[in-house]
Structure 1
Amino acid sequence: MDTTVYVPIPDEGTAARPTVTPAVRARALTKTYGRGEAQVRALDGVDVDFTAGRFTAIMGPSGSGKSTLMHLLAGLDSATSGQSFIGSTEVTGLNDKALTALRRTRVGFVFQQFNLLPMFTAEQNITLPVELAGGTVDKQWLGTLVDTLGLGKRLTHRPSELSGGQQQRVAIARALIAQPDVVFADEPTGNLDSRSGAEVLSFLRRSVRELGRTIIMVTHDPAAAAYADRVILIADGKIAGDITDPTPESALAGLDALRTVAAR
């Protein structure tokens, strides 16, 4: 086995700092639940940067803190301490009103559950975030998304008339319609069969490479992680490794390494 696929991240003091502000970053980010002996530290002083225009996957064993990290980065949950940033904006310093505005205009979301409104057509579901924010839909950008995601013949269909893969493509278009700074995807293929899942992951990768988007995806699946440009490994609430240009084999090796350490 190639032992170079699992690469620990250098200490903060020795790591080269980027000269360009990352799309998303965390500094000493911590999240605890409960108190006293019942306290659980779900995230433990995380420092990590996510480069703009890249597809990054976050992987780790169950309970490792990967979804907690995504939720704090996206402003879906509050941190116990530390900071998270989207661009130069400190998410952890925003009030509820500012967080709502941030999520509507600068952040897109794709979840395991498609969360489409059943009474709306595909096109209405796609354009909903812009309309909720009181904006005007960019018809050219909508056309680009529809063409890239292969939805041209499905815009008048309601969710019940679409397959799971098609519904998730609508959800991706909805996440991208406001041209957000970053899209967070939480197990986006969890409810799909392998063929539909591969299709959706291909579209996410195309969104990065052809449309210039920034995507951060949480997944437990090494095959899904291999669609990303980079995999961040997390264990026990801490960043534990970093894989560049992952393959299913290298992602699995990294995950197995975490499990081996945890079992000791």
Structure 2
Amino acid sequence: MRTQSPAAAPTTPTAGPDDGMTAVAAVDLVKVYGSGETAVRALDGVTVGFARAQFTAIMGPSGSGKSTLMHCLAGLDTATSGRALLGGTDLTVLGDKVLTRVRRERIGFVFQSFNLLPQLTAEQNITLPLDLAGRRAERGLLAHLADVLGLHGRLTHRPSELSGGQQQRVALARALVSRPEVVFADEPTGNLDSRSGAEVLSFLRNSVRELGQTVVMVTHDPGAAAYADRVVLLADGRVAGDLDRPDRAAIADALQNLGTYR
């Protein structure tokens, strides 16, 4: 297992942003909230790359910048300076209209809250991003996702008729049905019981192995992060560590060294 001491210099991307191996990358990314004496530097020159067809977890203490990094990389927040690269596209220079299209067509999202529309069926919620983009769902892929996520027989149900775990599985199918370049997952198991959470994490893991999907997940849970191929650690808005295929104990030790549980 490759590790980096929390005191060491920030890691650089394992692959360059234009080499075909990196799905998404931050280059000298800075995000400042507010101004003057009340300014908060949430990201302080972060440079890190996330490989294609890999499951990466981002972890760190509260206020470390992990959610801010994900939001900037996903085009949900605007960086103060630096670059947020999706393949060869710099999201920081795009106008709102183009950025909205990029998010809809090239990125999948899974959040702690399921964000399903209550008036739509499960299938309609799954295909909504494609409908908005004027694209048809691949029926074979939709059937495969419904099968592996245990949603057959539930596709005609509305969210109020589904359990929390089933609703999150609908959200997962929605994120994957467009074959996005990257899926960003922000605490995707936060509202689930342990069994449902394990099912969601296993499916994210399998989507990388079987579909070649790229997944970047923010989590505070070492158990959840242990499903990932790699864990990137943040502290005070900077990259503070990088773990390769860690187990739960190694992740907990690294977080302890960062002061997460002190």
Residues in 2 aligned to 1:13 and 1:129: alpha-carbon distance in whole angstroms? 35
| 2:154 aligned partner | 154
Offset from partner CA, 1:111-160 (integer Å, 9 cap, x none): 00001111111111100000011111111111121122121121111111
Amino acid in structure 1 at the alignment position of 2:137: V
| 1:126 aligned partner | 126
| 1:58 aligned partner | 58
CA contact (8 A) 1:59 1:218 kept: yes
Residues in 2 aligned to 1:17 and 1:170: alpha-carbon distance in whole angstroms? 33
TM-score (norm: length of structure 1): 0.93
CA contact (8 A) 2:123 2:156 kept: yes
Residues in 1 aligned to 2:9 and 2:191: alpha-carbon distance in whole angstroms? 37
Residues in 1 aligned to 2:83 and 2:194: alpha-carbon distance in whole angstroms? 37
Residues in 2 aligned to 1:15 and 1:67: alpha-carbon distance in whole angstroms? 19
Amino acid in structure 1 at the alignment position of 2:241: G
Residues in 2 aligned to 1:209 and 1:64: alpha-carbon distance in whole angstroms? 30
Residues in 2 aligned to 1:171 and 1:136: alpha-carbon distance in whole angstroms? 18
Offset from partner CA, 1:63-112 (integer Å, 9 cap, x none): 11000000000000000000010011111111101110001100000000
- SS of 1:243's equivalent in the other structure is strand
Q: Give structure 2 stretches of 5+ with no counterpart.
A: none
2:198 is the alignment partner of 1:198: yes
Residues in 2 aligned to 1:103 and 1:16: alpha-carbon distance in whole angstroms? 24
Residues in 2 aligned to 1:198 and 1:13: alpha-carbon distance in whole angstroms? 30
CA contact (8 A) 2:176 2:183 kept: yes
| 1:214 aligned partner | 214
Change beyond 3 A, Cα 1:16–1:180 = closer
Amino acid in structure 1 at the alignment position of 2:140: Q
- SS of 1:23's equivalent in the other structure is strand
- SS of 2:108's equivalent in the other structure is strand
Deviation at 1:6, TM superposition (A): 4.2
| 1:7 aligned partner | 4
- SS of 2:64's equivalent in the other structure is coil
2:107 is the alignment partner of 1:110: no
| 1:182 aligned partner | 182
- Matched ranges for 1:1-264 at <5 A: 6-8=3-5, 17-18=15-16, 19-259=19-259
Root mean square deviation of aligned Cα? 2.0
Offset from partner CA, 1:203-248 (integer Å, 9 cap, x none): 1111111111100000000000001110000000000000111211
Deviation at 1:8, TM superposition (A): 4.0
Amino acid in structure 1 at the alignment position of 2:105: T
CA contact (8 A) 2:10 2:238 kept: no
Amino acid in structure 1 at the alignment position of 2:216: I
Q: Give structure 1 stretches of 5+ with no counterpart.
A: none
Residues in 2 aligned to 1:13 and 1:222: alpha-carbon distance in whole angstroms? 21
Residues in 2 aligned to 1:170 and 1:211: alpha-carbon distance in whole angstroms? 17
Residues in 2 aligned to 1:29 and 1:51: alpha-carbon distance in whole angstroms? 18
Offset from partner CA, 1:3-31 (integer Å, 9 cap, x none): x7742497589876555341000100000
Residues in 2 aligned to 1:254 and 1:160: alpha-carbon distance in whole angstroms? 40
CA contact (8 A) 1:5 1:250 kept: no
Offset from partner CA, 1:17-63 (integer Å, 9 cap, x none): 55534100010000001111111100000000000000000000111
Bigger CA drift: 159-168 or 213-222? 159-168
Change beyond 3 A, Cα 1:145–1:29 = same
CA contact (8 A) 2:57 2:228 kept: yes
CA contact (8 A) 2:182 2:213 kept: yes
CA contact (8 A) 2:79 2:92 kept: yes
TM-score (norm: length of structure 2): 0.94
- SS of 2:196's equivalent in the other structure is helix
CA contact (8 A) 2:14 2:49 kept: no
Offset from partner CA, 1:146-203 (integer Å, 9 cap, x none): 1221211211111111111111000000011111000000000000111111111111
Identity of aligned residues (%): 63
